[in-house]
Amino acid sequence: MSRTIHLALHPYGVGGPGQHGLWKDPRVAKNASIDINYYIRQAQAAEHALFDALFIVDSQFINATYPAHYLNRLEPLTLLSAVATHTRHIGLVGTASSTYNSPFNLARRFASLDHISGGRAGWNVVTSFDTGASRNFGLEEHLDYTTRYGRALEFVEVARGLWDSYEDDAFPADVERGVFLDPAKLHELGHEGEHFKVVGPLNLSRSPQGQPVIFQAGVSEEGRDLAARVAEGIYAPGGSLEQAQEYYADIKRRTASYGRAPEHIKIFIHGGPVVAATDEAARRREREIFEEDNDFERNLALLGRSFGAYDFSVHDLDAPFPDVAHLAEKGGRTGATKIITRAREENLTLRQVAWSVSEFRRSPFVGAPETVADTIERWFDAGTFDGINLAFRTEDELNLFVDGVVPILQKRGLFRTEYEADTLRGNLGLPVPVNRHTAAAGHVHA
């Protein structure tokens, strides 16, 4: 089978980081982020266009400076369970923290979504960089980087072990013999590790895709290493073509170093296409979008998120950028370190840094449908992604992409014309994981 592009949809709701003005758009319902029908419509439109997945982000801390979508939004697994009953093929990927959850409960919730959807669930594993979340879970301080990533690795291992509690043929449900369960096919986990002690078993069988698909989005050394070890899908930062190539090659190399097949990890870069009748009209709209969102107070608050929701407004805006390096370790360390380095090298004030982190950057995926399709094809051929995680400000803009760009990609043989499978794994071209107990007993069939 020739290599083809995967597409996922990331709905914005009323506007998250970098879309501060979206809630003001008359086409956006002010309750979009808590309206399940908004998500159902988005998922159905994406499914009609044969997208691989709907992707829902999340966080567990807010204050009054946070973007509109963060202030009032639905919990991902509840949301996706509702969407599952109104769709048939599209994957359903939810974000959940390995720092602020317990393995048994979260494994059960994702396994439930996997059954409700018929094998379409995915878990985006995050370690949480909002330091304020710790105080919502009884902790005075956010865990450091090393602890968070060590916990994440063990968390995934425990969840996968729990998902293998039942072998696939554990339930004969033989009325004549009076046998519902074959007890030899039920297995305790008995895990005792550095961060967790979980006996098991999970009280839920495996779904048609075996286990939910694991996604991850790390850009730091620890994040890249975690992704290479456990992820089956990655949400990559994107950036320039050269940066995307470097990230793609690095993750595939690391994956192979852990004895995994590089083709069994699908890398999705972020894409916010702007499609219009002409290239000029699309570029004008791109600039308009930037100006709609370019609010200094919001940019200053957004800068603080990389440093654990730090309040930069207490500093003189025209003084040199303050020494906040100690806050980076427990926040978004990779992004925070880049900000600090640039501020020092260019001797920037706090005001200049706040503007610089939100300065206008042209997206590669902007133009008439043919132009956008050309760029997607060029980046795909250059080895920058396996798929694109698409974000559109409005449903109208999603439809412009679906009606204009998707048919061109299909004509070029770059995107499917029908779903290959009923499960997320099947459509991503990922193997169904063999139950570890079945494999250990040597009962695996070719």
Provide the angle, in degrees to the nearest 10, between the axes of the packed helices 76-84 and 103-116. Answer: 20
- The torsion angles phi and psi of 16, rounded to 5 degrees, stand at -100, -155
Positions at the binding site: 58, 95, 149, 220
Residue 113 amino acid letter: L
Tens digits of per-residue pLDDT, 221-253? 888 999 999 999 999 988 899 999 999 999 999
Instruction: State the Cα angle at 415 between 390 and 283, rounded to 5°.
Output: 45
Nearest to 12 by CA among 428, 397, 366: 397
Please choose, from the candidates 59, 73, 98, the residue with its C-alpha nearest in 3D space to the C-alpha of residue 23: 73
| Residue stretches of the annotated binding site for FMN | 58, 95, 149, 220
pLDDT score at 387? 98
Sign of the torsion formed by the C-alpha atoms of 113, 114, 119 and 124: positive
The yes-or-no verdict on residue 333 having pLDDT over 70 is: no
Q: How sure is the predictor about 446, in pLDDT bands with cuts at 50, 70 and 90?
A: very low
The C-alpha atoms of residue 365 and residue 7 are separated, in whole angstroms, by 14
pLDDT at 1: 46
Structure confidence by residue, pLDDT tens digits, 433-445: 999 999 998 876 5
- The predicted-structure confidence for 127-185, as pLDDT tens digits, reads as follows 987 778 888 888 878 888 788 899 999 999 999 999 999 999 999 999 999 999 999 99
Q: pLDDT tens across 381-428, in order?
A: 999 999 999 999 999 999 999 999 999 999 999 999 999 999 999 999
Render pLDDT for 60-103 as a digit per residue (tens, 0 to 9): 988 888 899 999 999 999 999 999 999 999 999 999 999 999 99
Q: Give the per-residue pLDDT at 331.
A: 58
pTM, rounded to two decimals: 0.91
Q: Please, is 413 exposed, middle or buried when counting C-beta atoms within 10 Å of its C-beta (0-12, 13-18, 19+)? A: exposed
Domains and CATH numbers, the chain: 6-279+363-440 (3.20.20.30), 295-356 (no CATH)
Q: Is the pLDDT of residue 313 over 90?
A: no
Q: Which residue has the higher pLDDT, 321 or 156?
A: 156
Higher pLDDT, 1 or 145: 145
